[in-house]
């Protein structure tokens, strides 16, 4: 197996003649020594470039960063500074974004089952708009209206009946979905009528999101067409077309850039003479390939005739995606990036179950041993954000690197953090 495909690394990655990797001008081995492992290393330049690319492709305040992909205060500020709005999908995400100093009118609130408290929080803060997902949410908004809270601007989430080709857990545009008002069975039209008549909301647009990690950009064009046809007679100012652009995780995978995605989506809308303001909600394509996770090998178990297990100091608690979706990753040794990876191993974590797998059949350099660093690229999206404390592991820190400097933006958890909410 050849060495790591370098295009999977963050934009500012460089490899010296000895094969040692630096990101943001700092050697990854040095970062691991300074901050310990497991460690998320994010390339700040890469993040800023992707945000700007999205803003250039879709327009100022028409690219909304889906914070679920990766959120901490530094990330919220960065996306906002670069001209993006922020999509928050819970009261918690909203709270983090607000506490970062992002103004409420830059936030859009999502969720298929927002609680009364979350809605009250959003109305009190006066977020830009709410994406309403179901009738019960309209009921709750009517209750809050009766309490005297401000009337929110709302966008209705529509299920357009477009099936995106991706893992079934992250496909959301098909009729059989928990999300949104179905277009096919008339629920979408009924919701529009209800929202228009309700004094509790100001209807400003419609929304769809067909799924995540979608590689076939023509799926987005199809959804855009369906939504444009639905939206045209309504004459509403906002048409929100969700996120979902896929990214390559392993060698051989290819995806469109944000710029190309923009051309396809906006082209489809232009062809139909859409008058609404079009916006999108990219998450993964902004952050995924900006980061790597660095681990330390702790044990190598060779079972002759079966396989070799390489155990690292993290696992499904910092990256549950392989277990949840069977997602593939590559592995490499940060100070031997150019080495051929001629051995095979199952890269596993330190959790108490056999399912704790990071890479089922990884190509790795021969001779890995305890104490070696090993890293996985493209872990910037849905890794840190889906991390857990399973087995009471402490979650890794997040370090942003840029121009030869590193700053810890989320510190490593400690044992006291594990007891913070334990009041028994
Ligand atoms: N907008 C809405 C309404 C969404 O539900 C999502 C993702 C996005 C935007 C952002 O999609 P993106 O551009 O990141 O694909 N945990 C899964 C992904 C779940 C995506 C959920 N919704 C994963 O690790 O693959």
- What is the per-residue pLDDT for 236? 96
- What is the per-residue pLDDT for 146? 98
- What is the per-residue pLDDT for 403? 98
Does the predicted model carry a pTM greater than 0.85? yes
- What is the residue extent of each domain of the chain? 6-43+288-418, 44-285
Residue 318 burial (CB < 10 Å; 0-12/13-18/19+)? buried
- What is the per-residue pLDDT for 338? 95
Is residue 50 within 6 Å of ligand 1 at its C-beta? Answer: no
- Band (168; pLDDT cuts 50, 70, 90): confident
For residue 274, pLDDT beyond 80: yes
Distance between Cα 383 and ligand 1 center (Å): 12
Alpha-carbon distance values, 56 to 63, 84, 102, 254, 261 (Å)? 9, 10, 21, 22, 12
- What is the per-residue pLDDT for 413? 98
How large is the average pLDDT for residues 101-116?
98
Residue 218 burial (CB < 10 Å; 0-12/13-18/19+)? exposed
Is residue 170 within 6 Å of ligand 1 at its C-beta? Answer: yes
- What is the per-residue pLDDT for 380? 98
Contact criterion met (CB below 8 Å) for 377 and 289: yes
For residue 17, pLDDT beyond 80: yes
- Band (9; pLDDT cuts 50, 70, 90): very high
Looking at ligand 1, which atom is closest to the CA of residue 321?
Answer: 24
- Band (167; pLDDT cuts 50, 70, 90): confident
Alpha-carbon distance values, 376 to 100, 231, 297, 346, 349 (Å)? 29, 42, 13, 13, 13
Is residue 402 within 6 Å of ligand 1 at its C-beta? Answer: no
In the predicted model, what is the mean pLDDT of the chain? 96
How large is the average pLDDT for residues 334-354?
97
Is residue 173 within 6 Å of ligand 1 at its C-beta? Answer: no
Label the pairing between strands 153-159 and 202-207: parallel
Alpha-carbon distance values, 189 to 126, 131, 135, 186, 202 (Å)? 26, 16, 12, 5, 16
For residue 52, pLDDT beyond 80: yes
For residue 332, pLDDT beyond 90: yes
Kind and range of the H or E element at 58? helix 44-58
- What is the per-residue pLDDT for 172? 74
Is residue 379 within 6 Å of ligand 1 at its C-beta? Answer: no
- What is the per-residue pLDDT for 299? 98
- What is the per-residue pLDDT for 385? 98
Residue 136 burial (CB < 10 Å; 0-12/13-18/19+)? exposed
pLDDT digits (tens, 9 = 90+) for 22-31: 999 999 999 9
Kind and range of the H or E element at 155? strand 153-159
Domain 44-285 has CATH 3.20.20.10: yes
How large is the average pLDDT for residues 47-60?
97
Contact criterion met (CB below 8 Å) for 208 and 157: yes
- What is the per-residue pLDDT for 359? 98
pLDDT digits (tens, 9 = 90+) for 170-227: 677 788 899 999 999 999 999 999 999 999 999 999 999 999 999 999 999 999 999 9
Distance between Cα 21 and ligand 1 center (Å): 30
How far is Cα 393 from Cα 419, in angstroms, rounded to an integer? 12
How far is Cα 156 from Cα 317, in angstroms, rounded to an integer? 34
pLDDT digits (tens, 9 = 90+) for 226-246: 999 999 999 999 999 999 999
Helices (H), 312-364: 321-325
For residue 121, pLDDT beyond 90: yes
- Given ligand 1 and candidates 243, 280, 324, which is best to mutate, with the most ligand atoms within 8 Å of its CB? 243
- What is the per-residue pLDDT for 351? 98
Superfamily for the 6-43+288-418 domain: Lyase, Ornithine Decarboxylase; Chain A, domain 1 (2.40.37.10)
Active site (catalytic) residues: 352
Looking at ligand 1, which atom is closest to the CA of residue 214?
Answer: 15
pLDDT digits (tens, 9 = 90+) for 130-150: 999 999 999 999 999 999 999
Is residue 408 within 6 Å of ligand 1 at its C-beta? Answer: no
Percent of the chain at pLDDT > 70 equals 100
- What is the per-residue pLDDT for 174? 81
- What is the per-residue pLDDT for 176? 86
For residue 95, pLDDT beyond 90: yes
């Amino acid at each position: 197996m050849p060495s790591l495909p370098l295009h999977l690394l963050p934009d500012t990655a460089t490899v010296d003649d000895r094969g040692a990797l630096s990101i943001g001008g700092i050697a990854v081995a040095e970062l691991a020594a300074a901050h310990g492992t497991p460690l998320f290393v994010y390339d700040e330049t890469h993040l800023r470039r992707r945000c700007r690319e999205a803003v250039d492709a879709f327009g100022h305040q028409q690219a909304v960063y889906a914070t679920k992909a990766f959120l901490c205060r530094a990330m919220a500020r960065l996306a906002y500074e670069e001209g993006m709005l922020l999509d928050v999908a819970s009261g918690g995400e909203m709270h983090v974004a607000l506490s970062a100093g992002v103004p409420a009118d830059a936030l859009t609130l999502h969720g298929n089952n927002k609680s009364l408290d979350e809605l009250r929080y959003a109305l009190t803060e006066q977020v830009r708009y709410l994406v309403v997902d179901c009738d019960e949410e309209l009921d709750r908004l009517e209750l809050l209206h009766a309490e005297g809270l401000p009337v929110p601007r709302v966008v209705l989430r529509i299920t357009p009946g477009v099936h995106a080709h991706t893992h079934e857990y992250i496909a959301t545009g098909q009729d059989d979905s928990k999300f949104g008002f179905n277009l096919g069975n008339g629920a979408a039209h009924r919701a529009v009528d209800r929202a228009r008549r309700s004094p509790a909301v100001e209807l400003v647009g419609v929304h769809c999101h067909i799924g995540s990690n979608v590689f076939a950009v023509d799926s987005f064009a199809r959804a855009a067409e369906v939504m444009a046809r639905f939206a045209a007679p309504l004459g509403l100012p906002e048409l929100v077309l969700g996120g979902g652009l896929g990214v390559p995780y392993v060698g051989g995978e290819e995806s469109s850039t944000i710029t190309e995605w923009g051309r396809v989506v906006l082209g489809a809308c232009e062809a139909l003479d859409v008058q609404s303001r079009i916006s999108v909600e990219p998450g993964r394509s902004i952050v995924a390939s900006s980061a790597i996770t660095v681990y330390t090998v702790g044990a190598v178990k060779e079972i002759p005739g079966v396989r070799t297990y390489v155990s690292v100091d993290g696992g499904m608690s910092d990256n549950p995606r392989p277990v949840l979706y069977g997602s593939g990753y590559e592995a490499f040794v940060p100070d031997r990036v150019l080495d051929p990876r001629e051995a095979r191993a199952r890269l596993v974590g330190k959790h108490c179950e056999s399912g704790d797998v990071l890479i089922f059949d990884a190509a790795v350099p021969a001779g890995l041993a305890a104490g070696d660093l090993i890293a996985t690229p493209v872990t910037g999206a849905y890794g840190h954000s889906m991390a857990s404390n399973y087995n009471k592991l402490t979650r890794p820190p997040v370090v942003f690197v840029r121009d030869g400097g590193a700053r810890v933006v989320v510190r490593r958890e400690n044992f006291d953090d594990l007891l913070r909410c334990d009041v028994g």
